[in-house]
Amino acid sequence: MSVDESWEKIERWLDQYAPQEQPLPAPCTRSELDGLYSALGVRLPGDVEQSLLRHNGSGLTDVIPSKFALHSVEQIADDHLGTLKYKLKNDHYGWGDSRLIVPIGALGEMQLVVDTRTGLLGSWDIEETGYHWREGPGWASLSTALEVIGDALASPPPWIAVMGDGNEWRAIDMDTDFPGTLVWADVRG
């Protein structure tokens, strides 16, 4: 399934079940992508680029379980350069690998990252040591994650996104604290 097809399913669910969510951002431009690549010194995987050309991030909508909002082109550049400065200042993780691992989303201080060499999704937290690479087929790439999420949201309720073994998330549209928005709850808890 293409990134656009996955986004179409997600958009339909948001339109129908999450009317309180802010609209997803418009696409970025090729010029903005070129500026990002110039700032990063590395290209993003094709599926991340396709996603940005569909929506320049996800705004405040937590599209990826466990509540990761996707970054805009500007946020990617800012977070990547800020993270590199922190890691160099604190002698963490080495310059080479850090330059090739780019934050594409966030959950508070935790970053959703992509390895630009493999497309694999993981996370990095200032409090943790190193990168944590997500387990399971749903984390193999952004396009795979969006496909799992899109398919889950296009199915009848309950909407369960199975990202990997023991890594299942249920989409909730009528959360008591945030009704009419997309909220992800861990199926185990």
Residue 162 confidence (pLDDT) above 80? yes
CA–CA distance, 80 with 74 (Å, rounded to integer): 10
What integer is the mean pLDDT of 91-95? 48
Neighbours of 75 (CB within 10 A): 17
Q: Sketch out the chain's domains with CATH numbers.
A: 3-186 (3.40.1580.10)
pLDDT of res. 166: 80
pLDDT of res. 61: 96
User: CA neighbours within 13 Å on the CB side: how many for 144?
Assistant: 17
Residue 94 confidence (pLDDT) above 60? no
pLDDT digits (tens, 9 = 90+) for 9-57: 999 999 999 999 999 999 999 999 999 999 999 999 999 999 999 999 9
pLDDT of res. 93: 47
pLDDT digits (tens, 9 = 90+) for 108-125: 888 999 999 999 999 988
Residue 68: DSSP 8-state:
B
Confidence of residue 99 (pLDDT cuts 50, 70, 90): confident
- What's the pTM? 0.92
